[in-house]
């Protein structure tokens, strides 16, 4: 392949990856064609993009970007995964596919987050983190928790007094 063609392909890849800051590298070699189609369909339904590309062209396309760190020192044929609701959801999905038996040859090989290269072990560790939706629910609980506790403490004495008054009034009515 001539240098001119390589530059054209690298420019096309750069355009496709524009705005992508976090991505994962996976190994998909050895997955048969039917399984690959099923894998791509499952990922596409979740908003995740999968692109198999030659490492040297990917390095050329991501040079000077945050994704460049992901390809430092990696060898072999890899696929680049990005997208999804948030990066942690992507990590959880990839780790689930890696552990599952449906795609035996699928394996997480690393990635990049915030310009930092991730090892496969770090990717597995990150899969245990809460994703964006889980973090928002935790935050909402932490915000609303003290307010609901305060409301309960303010209303409890009034409720107790109202209950005692009601019991007293029922006792007087039964005497009549």
pLDDT in tens, 140-174: 888 888 888 888 888 888 878 888 888 888 877 66
Comparing 159 with 91, the larger pLDDT belongs to 91
Do residue 146 and residue 89 come from a single domain? no
Measure the CA–CA gap between 46 and 66, rounded to whole angstroms. Answer: 24
Do residue 107 and residue 160 come from a single domain? no
Domain around 36? 3-129
Please, which pLDDT band fits residue 77 given cuts at 50, 70 and 90?
confident
Do residue 153 and residue 85 come from a single domain? no
The mean pLDDT value for 72-80 works out to 79
pLDDT of residue 174: 66
Residue that has been written with the tokens 């209303």 in this structure: 155
Do residue 65 and residue 28 come from a single domain? yes
Would you state the structure tokens that stand for residue 171, as one six-digit string? 């006792």
pLDDT of residue 86: 86
Which range among 63-77, 102-116, 136-150 shows the weakest confidence by mean pLDDT? Answer: 63-77
Do residue 73 and residue 125 come from a single domain? yes
Please, which pLDDT band fits residue 119 given cuts at 50, 70 and 90?
confident
Looking at the DSSP assignment, which residues form a beta bridge with residue 112?
23, 117
Please, which pLDDT band fits residue 45 given cuts at 50, 70 and 90?
very high
Q: Has residue 23 got a pLDDT over 70?
A: yes
Nearest Cα to Cα of residue 106 among 22, 20, 40 = 40
User: How many independent structural domains does the chain possess?
Assistant: 2
pLDDT of residue 153: 81
Do residue 149 and residue 115 come from a single domain? no
Do residue 120 and residue 172 come from a single domain? no
Do residue 35 and residue 88 come from a single domain? yes
pLDDT in tens, 3-22: 888 888 888 888 888 888 88
The mean pLDDT value for 35-47 works out to 90
Measure the CA–CA gap between 37 and 60, rounded to whole angstroms. Answer: 28
Do residue 113 and residue 172 come from a single domain? no
CB 39 within 8 A of CB 103: yes
Do residue 7 and residue 94 come from a single domain? yes
């Amino acid at each position: 392949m001539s240098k001119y063609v390589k530059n054209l392909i690298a420019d096309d890849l750069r355009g496709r990856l524009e705005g992508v800051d976090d991505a994962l590298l996976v190994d998909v070699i050895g997955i048969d064609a039917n399984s690959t189609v099923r894998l791509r369909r499952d990922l596409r339904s979740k908003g995740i993009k999968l692109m198999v590309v030659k490492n040297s062209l990917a390095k050329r396309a991501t040079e000077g970007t945050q994704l460049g760190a992901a390809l430092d020192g990696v060898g072999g044929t890899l696929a680049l995964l990005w997208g999804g609701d948030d990066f942690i959801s992507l990590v959880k999905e990839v780790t689930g596919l890696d552990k599952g038996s449906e795609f035996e040859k699928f394996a997480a090989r690393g990635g990049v987050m915030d310009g930092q290269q991730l090892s496969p072990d770090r990717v597995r560790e990150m899969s245990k983190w809460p994703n964006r939706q889980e973090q928002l629910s935790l935050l909402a609980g932490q915000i609303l928790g003290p307010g609901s506790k305060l409301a309960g403490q303010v209303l409890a004495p009034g409720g107790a007094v109202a209950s005692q008054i009601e019991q007293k009034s029922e006792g007087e009515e039964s005497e009549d």
